[in-house]
Chains A and B, each alone.
Chain A
Amino acid sequence: MNKKSSNGVKHFYQHTEFSLIVIIVILFLASVFGTKNFFSEYNLMNLLKQCSIIGVLAIAETFIIITSGIDISIGAITGLSCMAIALLQSKAGMNIAASVVLAIVIGAICGFYNAIIIYEFRVTPMIATLGSQTIIRGAVKIISEAKTVSGLNKSFTVLGTSSVWKLPSLALIWIVVAIIAIFVLRYTVFGRNLYVMGSGVEVARLSGIKVRKMFYMVYSLCGMLCGIAGVMLAARINSAVPTGGEGYEMDAIAAAVIGGASLSGGRGAVTGTILGTILMVLITNAGTQFGLNTFVLEITSGVLITLAVVVDQIKSRK
């Protein structure tokens, strides 16, 4: 549930965020005391790294879901900018700064393209991004000749392994993105307008919101965040694979929904999405530490997603 929409009316313990924190703490403690390796520095660092890329994408998806849209091309865009930065560095010999900027810009362009199809041609976001996802996937395979590309700049890939104040650099990027996103949604006119658009495009238009500009901005922003995620992915795996980022869109949507974003629009918050991301990753990580069957873990994640939506439905029916 959107925290802001009910602040002061509901108590904190009635929020989605509160229930998520409780579940996360219980799961965390159980893993700490129940398994040998969970509470090791290596595993915790790994957990955070796992969270970071999905975390950034989930924030991107939250912006889109708030406007009552959905973007299923985010995984593909991530894969594209991951491949782009690898090729730019290894084949074109471009320097780090320029290649990073270019990879992010490529992501933003993809988002801009989605906005054209969705706004100008009135295609529903689901279908528009399904189309662009397939196009981008094909493009990645062509530019990479369907091969893994390695040979990234060493001083760049350090980003994937280094830490700052005991935090993985990747997690730091996630945190910075999250803080900015929270700020944008809470304190800026742009953020407010996203929620209004999600409640109804006509409402937004008649309230003097430039709906067209908003569509372009939010989808480009989403693409840009995917570009950042692509850069992070390249640094983390030290190369780019043609299938990079596949399936990430589903994890991102799941994290946003578990965090309380509503697919019917107008609801969602970055804090919830962050907790949703942590919970998703924690289940897989802790489950592996407990030695549970991976397929069982898949089912658990699925049940969790369903549960989140069911709870949301029951709440909104009241």
Chain B
Amino acid sequence: MEENRNLRQPCFITREGDKVDNTILKIEHISKFYPGVTALNDVSFTIQKGEVRALVGENGAGKSTLIKCIMGVEVPNKGTISLNDNGNWVSGMDALQAQAHGMFANYQHVNISPDLSIAENYFLGRVPRTKLGLVDWKKMKEESQQIVNKFKMDVNPQAKIKDLPIAMQAMVTISKISVNEDIKLVIFDEPTALLENEKVETLFSYIKELKNQGVSIIYISHRLEEIMDICDTVTILKDGTYVDTKSVSEVTKETLVSMMVGRKMSDIYGIKHFKPGKELLRVEGLSDETHFQNIDFTVHAGEILGFFGLVGAGRSEIMRAVYGVDRYKTGKVYLRGEETHIRNPQNALMKGIGFLTEDRRADGLALPLEIKVNINMNSYDIISSAGMINLKKEQERAEEFCEKINVKTPSIQQQVGNLSGGNQQKVVIAKLLCRDPEILIFDEPTVGVDVGAKEEIFKLIEKLTEQGKGVILISSYLPEVMGLADRLIVMSQGKITVCYDNEQMQNLTEEQVLMAASIEE
């Protein structure tokens, strides 16, 4: 019967035209466009019952978008996704329907209610009731305790989520999936990013258990060895297009990487490097006691200093402190050899430090305002006298930088909110350069930007270093920092774990850097 069929070992011999009853998910010709960016372009593949499928690709390859489309969170512009619900093909599901049909996802960012307990989160929206229709707290407690035990989480199910360490929160979101009864497909998006080794083992045994029950898994991870460990097959995406699906036994890490990247790194990251000049910025023993401790680094004229670390490593927090947005408790900052104290962003700008923030929409751009105002936003003190703006200069500077940075717009009066992501990013960069700072901090300068715009941004950084500016480049994308930086600082849990100089960087591998980024105390 149903169960018997589920227990049968699924076959993945061919990728097309399998036995129909064994296919659980069909993705057919999916395309998804965002303004200015093609996130997915005609992607098709299928997943079998009980298969553990890895999904790999660079950042921006379209993995997250694809998951959102599968889970009904985003609606694709073209194509269909259909699920085999006991012999019936269901497609065009929204987020609620997707769950009702047995598809569940564990997203990259912990998405549980912080003010509720573990038990309440488990049973969110499906609270057990007594005969009188009241909440059956006893049953909820018992069942939650069982789940907690099963996942070897040494924690009281009554504990509030916000009181738990982040790794435990991640574990709650993973174990929450097991509350559901009819599970057909589970998507794990970077589930191990926040977990310790021991918990990774627990996760893997859960995945195996699901597989044995005939549940299909989509597993996304940057850690290729994990994929080799627990996945049956692997699908490679690149720049929003489908590359191939292989059995894990027929690939190696090297072949995977080459399929993921598909082009020579040097093409896009091939910028000229210059001989570093005098010291511009030196930071010694900087700590804020919560996000980062004992940070030392130096930036010279004409060099790019790279910062790499996993989410929560504290890179952006350091830069916010240096720029005067947040306070630091101890440590010293030297500008051009002299000790200085930067009290606020205005102070930083006056002293020649510019900061491109990670989240352009939240803290970089004034979306309802025109391009002209956005570009001049942090330099009105320069183009005004006695509080009066020199409108002619405002206009000229906006036009000049729009042209320099190649912002594509019909007019500088255009509202920034109407521009595409790549063009918005160019406007923030124009805003940064317009002030002509000597030290530039780029925090994730290529987030949500397509390859063409990326290349333009890299060329711009090259030009800046040629002019003798000091550049700090923060990126979560390894090839980017490794390809561009002259020196590379790797951080883990608020501390610098290693600093590679120019020579060491010549023979550096991604694995070495990742190892350094995941060093724990």
Contact = CB atoms under 8 A, between A and B. Distances in A.
Interface of A: 2, 4-9, 187-190, 192-193, 195-196, 198-200, 202-210, 262, 264-267
Contacts of A198: 368
A8 B411 CA distance: 8
B365 interface: yes
Contacts of A202: 362-363
Contacts of A264: 368
Given A200-B363, A207-B345, A192 B368 contact: no
Given A192-B373, A192-B380, A203 B344 contact: no
Nearest to A202: B363
B415 A5 contact: yes
14 contacts: A192-B389, A195-B366, A195-B369, A196-B366, A196-B369, A196-B373, A199-B366, A200-B367, A202-B362, A203-B363, A203-B364, A207-B345, A207-B431, A209-B346
Given A207-B378, A266-B369, 19 more contacts: A5-B368, A9-B410, A9-B414, A187-B391, A189-B389, A192-B389, A196-B373, A198-B368, A199-B369, A200-B366, A202-B362, A203-B365, A205-B345, A206-B363, A207-B431, A208-B348, A208-B350, A208-B381, A210-B344
A189 B369 contact: no
A265 B369 contact: no
Nearest to B370: A5
B146 interface: no
Q: Sort A-B residue pairs by CB-CB distance and give the 7 closest, nearest first.
A: A199-B366, A266-B368, A208-B346, A202-B363, A207-B378, A8-B413, A207-B377
Nearest to B377: A207
B378 A199 contact: no
Nearest to B368: A266
A218 to B, nearest CB: 14
A200 B330 CA distance: 30
Contacts of A4: 370, 413
B354 to A, nearest CB: 10
A208 B376 CA distance: 12
B362 A187 contact: no
A4 B394 CA distance: 14
A189 B384 contact: yes
B35 interface: no
Q: Which of A200, A210, A265 gathers most chain B CB within 10 Å?
A: A200
Contacts of B377: 196, 203, 207
B394 to A, nearest CB: 9
Contacts of A199: 365-369
Nearest to B348: A208
Nearest to B394: A192
B84 interface: no
A193 B345 contact: no
A190 B349 CA distance: 18
A5 B413 contact: yes
From A192, A202, A204, A262, residue with most partner B Cβ within 10 Å: A192
Nearest to B412: A8
Q: How large is the interface on B (under 10, 10 to 19, 20 to 34, 35 or more residues)?
A: 35 or more
A200 B357 CA distance: 14
Interface in B336-367: 344-346, 348-350, 355, 357, 362-367
Interface in B394-430: 410-411, 413-415
Given A9-B411, A188-B388, A192-B389, A208 B366 contact: no
A188 B390 CA distance: 9
A195 B349 CA distance: 20
A195 B370 CA distance: 11
Contacts of A5: 368-370, 413, 415
B345 A266 contact: no
B452 interface: no
Contacts of A9: 410-411, 413-414
B387 interface: yes
Contacts of B387: 188-190
B46 to A, nearest CB: 38
A169 B370 CA distance: 38
A300 B319 CA distance: 54
B383 to A, nearest CB: 9
Contacts of B431: 207
Contacts of B381: 189, 208
A123 to B, nearest CB: 21
Contacts of B335: none
A195 B380 CA distance: 13
A9, A188, A190, A193 interface centre (most CB from chain B within 10 Å): A9
B413 A206 contact: no
Nearest to A208: B346
A191 to B, nearest CB: 8
B373 A195 contact: yes
A267 B373 CA distance: 13
A265 B367 CA distance: 10
B325 interface: yes
A182 to B, nearest CB: 14
Contacts of A193: 380
A265 B250 CA distance: 57
Contact of A206 (B364, B373, B384): B364
Contact of A208 (B368, B373, B378): B378
A4 B410 CA distance: 16
A210 B324 CA distance: 12
Contacts of B350: 208
A206 B346 contact: no
Contacts of B367: 199-200, 266
